[in-house]
Structure 1
């Protein structure tokens, strides 16, 4: 039996889930545009444990959303996950943020393109098949009228996440469909983290860092 705590802090959604053998036991999340991760994350951890009737010593592993996403949000999530893993001597699992975002919908055919806002007209985007297999790895790219055209020519394309807002009005092929309301959540991490746990796909606690994709640039 594997009880895994899942932490998602890559975007405005502060999300925590607890799962047993990939099945969701409890979920707490708050999608607040001002970011609430530093205030809410540990509160949510306590709440999901309490709801499921578990405590920290019951945990088999901690999974964290690895990015890309908000620099500060990712740091908060990874720091919390590492701290728990070090204290309990349990493994750390990382889940690509765009992979879990892509699993929020099911389609019979076509492509899923989870994407996150990277400021201006740039997004972080990954292309998945309708069975969630990687078609194109994560890239940072500037959206223009030609973006993802090679996929829209073949089949329906579903653009998911806040990055999709930038594509509305720019990508006009009828095969494009937009779900800009979706945000990464610890809900979808439950089955993914259990798969990694069963296959012993763990991170090095000492050296693991979030996947920023681009270097952090301090503004004025």
Structure 2
């Protein structure tokens, strides 16, 4: 299989039918299933608020264990793409299309930062080495990046500490050696309930009032 190539040719007809019915939720399910087999506690569509810069981010798949975190962005990008992650404003450009799209590498880097800042705010005494074990991936279930092997793109991805793989490489994700503590998982569950992407969060975000709303929640409820 070519680097970052399509995996649809390797799908069974059942998988292909599920993909057509469920769209991007199907590859997320496959990744979550693989990680649970490897011993990780998995959260899908995990939303977090970055207290340091006031930004709100969504993580497609968040896996947690005693080894740290896996932050995973999954993209259903059909066709051929050119990465421009080495530029000051990272974008991806689909070949034959005029408008570029947001870089999933930049998106997952931003989501990772939001998660780490949230945890540091809640656990000021947390050891840095635990947070340094946060590994970050972009998995593509369709399409390919035509310049993925170029040295300047590889360097850009390495500088952002993001690994880009085709979805078929999900089996190469690391195995968890031990579960995370029950207290920490309980905190994550409460945090997720608090910041989940409710329909009115979308509306507030669109009109520019989401940050103020979340700040009012913090004032009422105190620290997590």
> Is TM > 0.5 for Structure 1 vs Structure 2?
no
Q: Which has the larger radius of gyration?
A: 2
Normalized per residue, the structure richer in helix is 2
TM-score, structure 2 length as denominator? 0.28
TM-score, structure 1 length as denominator? 0.29
